[in-house]
Structures are given as structure tokens and as C-alpha cells.
Structure 1
Amino acid sequence: MSPQFSRSGTVRQVVRSATGPDAVTVEPLFAEGGLPMVVRPKEAGADLVSLATVQKKWLADLLLEHRALLFRDWQISEAAAFHRFVEAVSDGEPLQYRDRSTPREEVGDNVYLSTTYPAAERIELHNEGTYWTAWPQKLFFCCVTAPTVGGETPIADNRRIKERIPAPLRERLERSGVRYVRNYNSGFGLTWQEAYQTSSREEVDRYAAENDTVTEWLDEDHLRTVQIRPAVRPHPVTGERMWFNHAAFFHVSSRDPQTREALVEALGEDGLPFTTAHGDGSPLADEDVRIINEAYLAEEVAFRWEAGDVLLLDNMSVAHARRPYEGDRKILVAMTDPVHGEAFEPTAPVSDVEER
């Protein structure tokens, strides 16, 4: 691997795989640097799967260093090739998407279409699976069809997000954790059958018990679940404590005022599809949620998708979102390399922690 200089004067790295002339360049996508780094072949027709197979360790180190890699001009344009790349760069098969919060269509072998969500609406920044007991370390996106307008997948640096959140608020959440409450079959959001990919209540209860989730069947088809999870988790490689939660994402105040009012009026506070609180059950203040959301947005960067793009994220280090779009948009998603978290109990009541 040897350094070269781009036209802008920034240093970029070049590595040649053992497969022959398929060298790559690695440089920031944006002139000001930051996320993501873009990885391009030096020669047309280079094979990304071959590179990933031969240079797996180098790519793993590159991801650990830069946290977000955009593979561009490699002509990965269909699910089978994407799946082969995912397998080549990972330590196992793609993960199944269970305990779902949004609709996903599987296109094969645990490769999914990105969230089926109205094109005119935005999906806010988040990390995948923060409320699971085992979540993916690697998160992959592949652009098969780029929308004509919008539809970017913004990303944001979790380290910088954490730094922007005032220390008293951050420390309160770190000590209390986050309490996630979900109601299924309330007429809004997914049914429990869709979320857990089963029609068996017994299987749901078994899965929940194995994953530190409390279930309450309010009637034949109304399931409520409660999960208490950390707000901050250690990175499995570096040990760095990462901001890693859905505290603001699932909070009702993150919705627009009209939608919030309609949901509360129709379902009541206890019947909302999603709600979050401190781990001891005390409310998470709207103002705190606003501060957290502003921290996310301040770090957001975005690029226009091009057909064939593959985006690889360190899921614990980088959050992702989706902007509204027009036209057809087909983005594939896969998750790999599960990280298993420890059971969590709040270490102090929120009232014992310094106020913001």
C-alpha cells in the first residue's frame, strides 16, 4: 500500500489486490474530509468481490479507521453480487431482521429492500438494532436504482453526536438507560406477526424471554413489550463508549405536532406504537429530545446515490437516515457480524443525577 496525491492535494491510499491489476484509491468523498471515504477501482471492470476476498483484513482495518466506506464505480447492481460482497467482507452470513420496527421486504438470503416507508417522509438518524440484545457491527447498503430527486441516505458520526449532547443530559441517560415500550396491533405500525415474523404467540414469548424483553398480551392481538437498554455501549474492538440508542428516534415528540396530537388522542400515551423514557420509567423530557435531535442533525452529511454504489458502515460508530425522494428508489440492505450486549440495569434513579 503506497500513498498518492489526488488533484485536490489530499493524500489517498492505493492498494493492489493479489488478483492482478485491480488497484483501488481511497480518499474522502468531500473536499473538507470527514465521512465517508470513497473506494474506487483504478481500472474499469475490477471485481469488488475478488478484492474483498483477498483484502478482507485490509478492508476491516480501513472500516475501523474511517467508519464509513462508499464503494463507487464497481458495478454492483443486483442482489446476488451484493450478497457475495457482504459475505466476502464479513465473518458470517447476513443476519435475519427480527423484532422489526418498520416493514422490510426480503429479496433473498437475508438481503432486504430498505424500509418500505412513504417517499415523502424522512426517516431520522439512528443506528440499527440499538434496542436488540445482539445488533450488527457491519451495515451494508447497495443502490440498485437511484431516485430522480432526493432519497439520500445521510450519515453522521456517533462520536461527534455524543460530544454535542450536554454532559449532564448524556450522563443521566448513561446511568438510567432507555426504556422502550411498543404496542403492536394498535392500528398503527406493524402487527406483532410482522415484527416477529411468526404467527405463534408462544414463539414471540420465547424470543422475548431470550432477549431481555417483557411481553404483555393485552388481548388476543394486542401485544405490549418493554425493553430497558443502555444509552451508551462499548465498541467491540476499540472499547470506546459510543452513543447508541433510539431514545429520541422513538420518542413521540420527535413526530410532527399534528401527528403526535392525533396519535395521543386516538391511542392515549400508554397505547402509542413506540415510546421512550428513562430506564426507571420517568419521562424523557421533550426539551431533552429536541437537544438530542439537534445534535444528530448538526453532524449529518449526505451524498447523491449512484446506481451500483455500496455503502459499508460501522453500525456502532455511524448513524444513518433517509431523506424524502421522488421517482423509483431501490436500495438493498444487509447486516452482519453480531455484537452481543450485556444485560442492563439502571445504576441510579434519574432524580439522583445532576439536573441539566
Structure 2
Amino acid sequence: MPNSDDWAPLRIGPEGRGGPEELREVLEDLGPDGLADIFVKEKGLVFRGFDVPADDLDAVLDLVLPRRLAYVHGNSPRTKVGGNVYTSTEYPPEFTISMHNEMSYADAWPARLAFYCQVRPGGGGATPVLDAARWLESLDDEVREAFVGGVRYVQNLHDGFGLGKSWQATFETDRREEVETFLGGTDCTWAWQPDGGIRVESVRPATTRHPVTGAEVWFNQADQWHPAGLGDDTAAALAQILPEDELPQNVTFADGSPIPEAYVAQIRDRGLEHAVDVDWAQGDLLLIDNVLLAHGRRPFTGNRRILVAMSD
């Protein structure tokens, strides 16, 4: 795990023969309070050498994420594979997924994330993690000051046929009243569209503070929601199909003014530059504090399969 900023997730290995039984013993000995203290101090933990099989994952997750959350209002493509356990983002393997804190665009987000390596990638495929306070510090003063007022996120979710995710997949329901009930508690505005889709808008801060440490961190997905974050070819192709205001997702400054492409590039590139790669071995478990650490994905070859769970 190369480290350019004098930080890396704490690696914990077995003292005995390993196996999921020993990992459960380690976690039970720590207890909820001990694990919470380590999370705050270390930001991320890698459990390696315990070789946790997929059949034992639920029992392990019950100790680290006892209140697993559904991926409701999630914006990336995933497949649900168990009790609030999902595949990691299903983008083509040749693409990098830039750094982000999970659901930082939402009114509420998970406090912890767990990543489990079910199938090790053939090559590449590391999960980079990034100290989100370091990310904030790395940005030019001009960029940080421009985002002081926050950002406005816009989602255009179709009714089953179109670009991006449908509202049914996003909210894990096909009942409009359940969507409205959920959105009613999230400080956003929405409107059902004539074609059956829904448009959702929300204004969120660009940074937040950790509830325990008080550290201020970069905490938004402006670079991922901005058309410039798609790359020149993809953005140009989408511009031929849809006006910017009708894209599946888009972002502006809070007042509706455009975010310069140069800011988007700086946010994306500085994040990846300061990230620390966690390379995968079969059965590894990575736990991160979702406010203190951002995460992403490096390109890969082979049949990489990483499962993800989230908790409050």
C-alpha cells in the first residue's frame, strides 16, 4: 500500500491460524466502543489473512455494521446480493472511479462502509482511499472559496427507459408515495414529469465536520456529477443527446451558476493524487469512516468482485 502522505489504513492480521472464527473473536474482543475508537484514530482498517469466505460475511458484518442500510437514493449502478449488501459500483473495468464519500450529495449518509473482496481482480483494481481533510487542504484557495456557498445537485430519474438509473432502482420501490415520503424528509424539492420520471433538486454544503473529531473535510460529489467529470468524449456525446439541464445528474453552485471545468479537474486530480491504494487479496475486509475517508476505484482486468455494505 504505497503512501505519499504519511498515512495508510491500519492493517490487522491473525495471530493464529486465521479464518473467520478468529476475525470474529478479534471483533468481539474489541467490542463496539473499541472499534469506534479505532475508527476515529485510524480512519480505515484492513483485515487481511483471515480469508473470510462469502458464506461467513454476514456474521462478520453483524459485528462491524450491525445496522446495515439499504442503498436508497444511491446514484451508482449496483446489484443487491444479500441483506443490505451490494456489489461495488458496476462501471466498466477500464474506467477509474474518482474519489468520493458515499452519498455525500444526500441529506443523510452512511457513517461507515465495509468492502469485502469476494473475487480478487486479475490485475489492478485497487480501492484508493483518501484522507478527506487532506483533500480539502490540497485544493487551491480559489476553489475552496468558490464552494463556500455549497452546491446544487439535480437528478432526472426516468421511469424505466432512459439514461442513468430509474427512480424505481434509485429508491428501491415502484410506489410513488414511498418516494414522496422519503424525499419529504430530505430537504429537497421534486416534481414528477409528464413522461413518468421525477426531477429532484437539493442544495448541500461542500464540506462537513466529523461528529467526533471536528475535522473539516471535503464532502461533495461535484466532480462526479459535473459533465466535465465524464471525460471529453462522453460529455460531448451526451451533449448531442440531451441539454445539460436534462442530464441524468448534474451539479452547479448553490445559486445555479456553473462550476468551471478547471475546478472540476482540480478536485478530481488532487483527490486521486493524494489517495492511498488498497490492493486486494481474496477474503480481505476493508472498513472505513465515510466522513474521514473518501474512496474510489482503479481500473482492472479479470473478474473483480467487491461487495459493499453501509451503516449509520
1:193 alignment counterpart: 168
Q: Is 1:128–2:105 an aligned residue pair?
A: no
Taking the aligned partners of 2:227 and 2:288, their CA distance within structure 1 comes to 27
Residue ranges of structure 2 left out of the alignment (5+ in a row): none
Conserved in 1, the CA contact under 8 Å of 2:120 and 2:282? yes
**Rg larger in 1 or in 2?**
1
Alignment: residue pair count: 306
Q: 2:18 aligns with which of 37, 45, 58?
A: 45
Cα deviation, 1:318-343, whole Å, max 9, x if unaligned, reads: 11111222211111101112xxxxxx
TM-score (norm. length: structure 2): 0.93
Deviation at 1:84, TM superposition (A): 2.2
Separation of aligned partners in 2, 1:110 and 1:49: 20
Q: Does the 8 A contact of 1:150 with 1:323 survive in 2?
A: yes
Name 1:160's counterpart in structure 2.
134
Of 155, 171, 174, which residue of structure 2 is paired with 1:182? 155
State the partner residue of 1:60: 36
> TM-score, length-normalised on structure 1?
0.82
Aligned match for 1:294, one of 242, 246, 269: 269
Structure 2 residue 181 is the aligned partner of structure 1 residue 206:
yes
Report how far residue 179 of structure 1 moved: 0.4
Q: Report the CA distance between 1:60 and its aligned residue.
A: 2.1
SS at match of 2:143: helix
For 1:277, the aligned partner's letter is T
Q: Counterpart of 2:78?
A: 104
Equivalent residue number for residue 19 of structure 1: none
Distance 1:117 1:293 in 2: 17
1:223 to 198, 201, 220: 198
Could you tell me which amino acid in structure 1 is paired with residue 93 of structure 2? A
Q: Percent identity?
A: 37
Which among 282, 285, 304 is matched to residue 307 of structure 1?
282
Match of 2:248 among 257, 270, 273: 273
Query: What amino acid maps onto 1:281 in structure 2?
Result: G
Aligned equivalent of 1:34:
7
SS in 2 for 1:171: helix
Deviation at residue 31 of structure 1 after TM alignment = 7.5
- Residue in structure 2 matched with residue 346 of structure 1 by the alignment: none
Specify the alignment match of 2:45 in structure 1: 69
1:285 aligns with 2:264: no
- The verdict on how the C-alpha distance between 1:322 and 1:54 changes in structure 2, with shifts beyond 3 A counting, is same
Q: Is the 8 A contact 1:77 1:143 kept in 2?
A: no
Unaligned runs of 5+ in 1: 1-28, 338-356
Q: What's the CA shift for 1:294?
A: 2.1
Structure number with the higher helix fraction is: 2
Give me the CA root mean square deviation.
Answer: 1.7
SS of the aligned residue for 2:56 comes to: helix
Letter in 2 for 1:325: F
